[in-house]
Structure 1
Amino acid sequence: MTLEADQPLTTPEPPQVPEATLLLVDDEPNVLSALKRVLRAENYLVLTANSGEAALAMMEQEAVDLVISDCLMPGMDGAELLSRVQRVSPDCIRILLTGQSDMNATIRAINEGHIYSYIAKPWDDHKLRLTLRQALAHQLAEREQKRLEALTLQQNQELMELNATLEQRVEARTQELKQITDMLDSAYDELKHSYVMATRVFSSLITQRMPRHLHANAQIGDLIQAFAETHELEDALRRDLLMAAALYNLGKLAWDDRMLTTPSERLFAEDRKAYRRYPETGESLLMSLEHLQGTARLIRHHREHWNGDGYPSRLKGEAIPYGARLLALAVDFIELQRGMILPRKVPRQQALDLLRKLSGRVYEPACVRPSSHSVSTRRRTWARPGKPCYRWRRASSSRA
């Protein structure tokens, strides 16, 4: 078999599901035929039986939503049939088909069979169809109500059971969350320990490359620690500063021995360019470690100048991270005394005077202004804007 080229391909529609199953019971075949004709246009599955016994037998095989039974039938009449239907299938709608002379049987059907309605012969087709629709709608509403009542009852039961065990569940969940929290705390402590160990390893690598008289990281760290304790810095900033003090010259690892031992102010040409790149190199080595990204940021910017002439980003004033400003002061204060900046070692007091002289150009003025104490004490301070400064003599007298 071949299809024409222009013949459209159609998908057959799925069969329509009947809205309800009806059972028509009457001992007269012509009455059953007439009822079926009336319901032909409706979306019902229509079954027929010619006696009460046959109807009950059919209901054992099929789920029936509505029964229409004639009143007067040989053997089991309509009233008795609908009464028995009510007992075996209470949800099934029961309607009696009766003539004018069947009033006693109708009353009995109402009393015993609890029928939904009765239809008098001869019936009106439109009223018959309307009665069936109303009956089935009523049945659907009742079924939905029962379903919701059953669902509510089930949910109430579940809620009662849940409430009965809620305390135990909460306790169990609390213990579970505590175990998870303890595991996370333990993992975090291990992670912090790993970062500290990594920092010590990196710092040790730097120290081993330097001659002993140029070892500055530990002293810079002591100075930062004393400042942090005096000014009660936030834990995150304190941690980042201490890490930066240990790793600020990480970017110098690739230098040769000559550059490592040459004061920075004696470097020229390509050596000078390489020197100016070490903050960025140090940052790039640490950025892959999430816990050290704050440290990396301080290392990158600790060579910025307050007037914007520094490197690598030429940041100016408050745009320079506060921690980087503090790190720059600590590094220069110690490196001046170690002979790592100028060709000679600068005594502690002269180093302080030089930092103060460069205030407003290289360093934040508030960080290097003199303290409120008398000049004879020869004390100088770092200052956070609006706060008392750390006294350099206290922090450095035992370490310089």
Structure 2
Amino acid sequence: MSQYLILCVDDERYVLDSVLQDLEDFEEHFIIEATESVAEAKEVLASAQQDGQQLALILCDHIMPEQTGVSFLVELDHAKATSQAKKVLLTGQADLEDTVKAVNEAHLDYFIGKPWKGDELRHIVTQQLTEYVIQHDDNLMRWTAVLDTERILNALSDKRAQFGE
């Protein structure tokens, strides 16, 4: 049903499992993929693009074996197909320099420190996805039951006012 992808990247399987559990409420409306490496994430993105799916949100750890999460987020920000995605750094190990780089060069949308609370993560994901669909989806009504209803209805009202309907 969905054309939007949520991608979770962390080299620790138990962290991914916990994130996936926290995101269960979104499974009916979004494609959710979990990868244990940046290389695997790139494969998922390539496949998603071939299938016409758009990366709406990425939750990415920072410290990983072959490439840091921050450098991957910067890479995604510079790629046309993924530059509009909401980028969330989910880590307990990014230092100030890495975090500043993520904000300045990857246009980081949110930083969540580990350990996180499930309700907090769901709220942040809801807000980020709401912003994404408002900016990129022409059929906002379908998202009112899933995302931030008030923000979506306000966006619909603003669009109607803008077009004089």
Q: Give me the TM-score of the superposition, normalised by structure 2.
A: 0.71
The residue number in structure 1 matching 2:136 is: 143
The residue number in structure 1 matching 2:123 is: 130
Aligned in 2, Cα 1:52/1:100: closer, same or farther, shift over 3 Å? Answer: closer
The residue number in structure 2 matching 1:35 is: 19
Q: Secondary structure of the equivalent of 2:67?
A: coil
The residue number in structure 2 matching 1:59 is: 45
Distance 1:29 1:85 in 2: 23
**Aligned partner of 1:50 among 16, 36, 43:** 36
Distance 2:66 2:17 in 1: 21
Residue deviations 1:138-166 (CA, integer Å, cap 9, x gap): 11122258xxxxxxxxxxxxxxxxxxxxx
What is the 5 A alignment of 1:228-377? none
Distance 1:81 1:136 in 2: 20
Task: Indicate whether 1:23 and 2:7 are aligned.
Answer: yes
Distance 1:73 1:22 in 2: 19
What is the 5 A alignment of 1:170-185? none
Q: Is the 8 A contact 2:62 2:93 kept in 1?
A: no
Task: Indicate whether 1:68 and 2:59 are aligned.
Answer: yes
Gaps of 5+ in 1: 1-16, 146-400
Residue deviations 1:73-104 (CA, integer Å, cap 9, x gap): 11210100001111221121111012166332
Distance 1:102 1:53 in 2: 23
Tell me how far 1:20 sits from its aligned partner: 3.6
Distance 2:95 2:132 in 1: 27
Q: Is the 8 A contact 2:62 2:94 kept in 1?
A: no
Residue deviations 1:170-224 (CA, integer Å, cap 9, x gap): xxxxxxxxxxxxxxxxxxxxxxxxxxxxxxxxxxxxxxxxxxxxxxxxxxxxxxx
What is the 5 A alignment of 1:86-101? 86-88=77-79, 89-99=82-92
Residue deviations 1:270-297 (CA, integer Å, cap 9, x gap): xxxxxxxxxxxxxxxxxxxxxxxxxxxx
The residue number in structure 2 matching 1:111 is: 104
Gaps of 5+ in 2: 139-165
The residue number in structure 1 matching 2:69 is: 78
Residue deviations 1:244-295 (CA, integer Å, cap 9, x gap): xxxxxxxxxxxxxxxxxxxxxxxxxxxxxxxxxxxxxxxxxxxxxxxxxxxx
Distance 1:100 1:28 in 2: 13
CA RMSD of aligned residues (A): 1.8
Distance 1:60 1:137 in 2: 24
Distance 1:100 1:30 in 2: 17
Tell me how far 1:41 sits from its aligned partner: 2.6
Residue deviations 1:52-85 (CA, integer Å, cap 9, x gap): 1221221111132111100111121010000111
Tell me how far 1:19 sits from its aligned partner: 7.7
When Rg is computed on C-alpha atoms for both structures, the one with the higher figure is 1
Q: Is the 8 A contact 2:5 2:31 kept in 1?
A: yes
Question: Which of the two has greater helix per residue?
Answer: 1
| 2:63 alignment partner AA | L
Distance 1:116 1:141 in 2: 15
Tell me how far 1:109 sits from its aligned partner: 1.0
Q: Give me the TM-score of the superposition, normalised by structure 1.
A: 0.31
Q: Secondary structure of the equivalent of 2:123?
A: helix
Q: Secondary structure of the equivalent of 2:33?
A: strand
Q: Secondary structure of the equivalent of 1:41?
A: helix
